[in-house]
Amino acid sequence: MKRAIFPGSFDPLTLGHTDIINRGITLFDEIIIAIGINADKKYMFTLEERMQFIKKAYKGVSKIKVMTYEGLTVDFCKKIDANFILRGLRNPADFEFEKAIAHTNRKLSEIETVFLLTSSGKSYISSSIVRDVIRNNGDYTGLVPHTVRVK
């Protein structure tokens, strides 16, 4: 089985994330959307809210699972028997950052990182931009799946 994890904080899930996930489904037998827990990071949405955004977006899609993890991503991969890490690239800066992480992960384990370029119409979307739009009462609905709603 070709199992990949798609790690991130997903604070919140964006259309950029779903673009990578939806295209990744065609490459892997299963994708674990892995929400990393970082006690030092301040999130806009609770862990439960982030999980629900994702679970509702992929309800009925058997190839998608949602899990949480702490610690090194490669250790989580080993724990759940995932052979691949799926990552999206929006721009050259993403590539340089992700390349360094992928090389480190290969040094620590045999996990392969697979990069997909975000579709051009979604390459400008990031969770930090979405959070800024939300904080400033802007219309964020065109940047996130319909399952992401602020109370």
Catalytic residue selected from 2, 3, 17, 103: 17
Catalytic residue selected from 56, 90, 106, 131: 90
Q: Confirm whether 103 is a catalytic residue.
A: no
- One-character DSSP codes across 32-79: EEEEE--TTSPPSS-HHHHHHHHHHHTTT-TTEEEEEE-S-HHHHHHH
Token pair in block for residue 41: 């990071």
Q: Confirm whether 128 is a catalytic residue.
A: no
Query: 84-107 burial, b for 16+ CB within 10 Å, e for fewer?
Result: bbbbbbbeeebeeebeeebeebee
Using only C-alpha atoms, the chain has a radius of gyration, in whole angstroms, of 15
Token pair in block for residue 47: 């862990």
Q: Confirm whether 41 is a catalytic residue.
A: yes
Catalytic residue selected from 99, 119, 127, 146: 127
Catalytic residue selected from 3, 9, 41, 99: 41
Q: Helix, strand or coil for residue 31?
A: strand
Token pair in block for residue 143: 């940047």
H/E segment holding residue 8: strand 3-8
User: Catalytic site residues?
Assistant: 17, 41, 90, 127
